[in-house]
Amino acid sequence: MEAQSRRQSEAEFARACISLAGGESSNARVHSGQHPTIIDRGEAGRIWDIDGNMYVDLLLAYGPLILGHRHPSVVAAIEAQIRTKGAIFGMPHRLSPRVAERIVSMVPGIELLRFANSGNEAIITAMRLGRFLSGRPGVVKFEGHFHGWGDSVFADHRPGLEEGHFPIRPRSGGMQAGFLQDLFHAPWNDIEALRQILDDSDLRIGVVMMEPVMANTGVIPPRPGYLQAVREECTKRGVVLIFDEVITGFRLAPGGAQEYFGVLPDITVLGKIVGGGLPLAVIGGSRDVMKPIADGRVFHGGTYSGNPLSLSAADATLTILQEQADTIYPDLFATTASLGKSVRESAAATGVPVQVHVVGPMLQIFICRDGEQFNQIVDYRTAIKAALPKRFLDLHYRLQNLGVYIHPDQFERILVCTEHTQGDLDTAANAINQAFKDMVAENGSTT
């Protein structure tokens, strides 16, 4: 198939680079290789670039758009708020308790919460609260898990294997090593490794923080019983457990991964879906856990925290997710499972070695080295051993030319939304099948 023209994207990106540092406002959006595709608009499960090319959108803005682009109820709520009330007041607002109550009624581990603007901010607050509650400075995070780019947490979450165990190094220039001195890496899905770190009294661990489904190294589920075991080890030692549900919140279930797996953290962080496409995040927990924030011993604030415009989008989105949960979640699960099944069938038919991971409405295709396809990817280490990011990037470009947009990075994820039509999903499945065929025809072995 002839490549679509992206001339206007190319010209516009060149223009952007003159006034915008690096041409974009997030380093995560610019990738080596081609110029980025510049987007004009979205509708339901599709997006259009400025050259007029249409794509089935399986990126969905990295996660917030579980109801797709411009969902009529969300648009109506935002419109009503801005037209008849206003965007921001810097004073208590009637939407705050309304949305807070809805979240409390949905997420089992939250009795009391605070709004923030991004996952990033909420994580920084959650770590601060966790350290205060435990009275210990040490924080364990897991290899391959991502929790934003704050100075206290932005360790390279994808260390090289050659560096031995648990390297922690600043992921950005300008971060002094001391910022991360009480942060430790553990391999995920390995309860014994975690026990050893928790038992090392020199480390003074007070907080364990994880994505309950690893969604920043592809999509990797917790082993059966792992979350429960982590919960027990933390409880035994008075260690505060944080679930970063920025991706899994409202996605795996109305109450997120904690509802889906039946394991409650001490502190929950929510982002992405909670704001219905506008900036909003949450730090929440039991009344006792949240008390230091409520009484001001642990500081949290922000001009835009809990701003009414974001809360209006949140209100509309969460109302739909809660009231229609009985159909929305089974449908999303079924759609994702069926896409996963067709990817596996295409891989088997074409001989492309893949592991397809499906966890509820989250999916990732790991394109693996020949002979490695039967090795289980269970954590970051097994993922980088088995997967071929360059091959995945090739898949990304091929799918883009076939009208399907997935993130170029092997270690991101494919998402579906409630507004994808059967036609969109068929387009995606057929494009993946075609791309696999072309890859084998052009490159033969994938190694």
| 173/62 Cα distance (integer angstroms) | 25
Task: Write the single-letter amino acid at 87.
Answer: A
CB of 355 to ligand PMP, least distance (A): 21
Residue (276 or 353) nearer to ligand PMP, CB? 276
Residue (209 or 402) nearer to ligand PMP, CB? 209
Residue (261 or 436) nearer to ligand PMP, CB? 261
* 344 Cβ contact partners less than 8 Å away, ≥ 6 residues apart: 354, 356
Given the rule CB under 6 A, which residues bind ligand PMP? 62, 118-120, 123, 146-148, 211, 216, 244, 246-247, 271
Task: Write the single-letter amino acid at 425.
Answer: L
Closest-by-Cβ residue to ligand PMP is: 119
CB of 28 to ligand PMP, least distance (A): 8
Contact 25, 35 (CB under 8 A): no
| 404/414 Cα distance (integer angstroms) | 11
Residue (271 or 403) nearer to ligand PMP, CB? 271
* DSSP symbols for 213-259: SB-SSS-BPPPTTHHHHHHHHHHHHTPEEEEEETTTTTTSSTTHHHH
Question: What is the sign, positive or negative, of the torsion defined by CA atoms of 427, 316, 337, 218?
Answer: positive
Residue (120 or 152) nearer to ligand PMP, CB? 120
CB of 79 to ligand PMP, least distance (A): 24
Phi and psi at 39, nearest 5°, equal: -90, 140
* 111 Cβ contact partners less than 8 Å away, ≥ 6 residues apart: 104, 284, 285, 286, 287, 290
CB of 275 to ligand PMP, least distance (A): 9
CB of 417 to ligand PMP, least distance (A): 17
CB of 279 to ligand PMP, least distance (A): 7
Residue (42 or 64) nearer to ligand PMP, CB? 64
Alpha helix ranges (H) inside 107-255 = 119-134, 191-199, 226-237
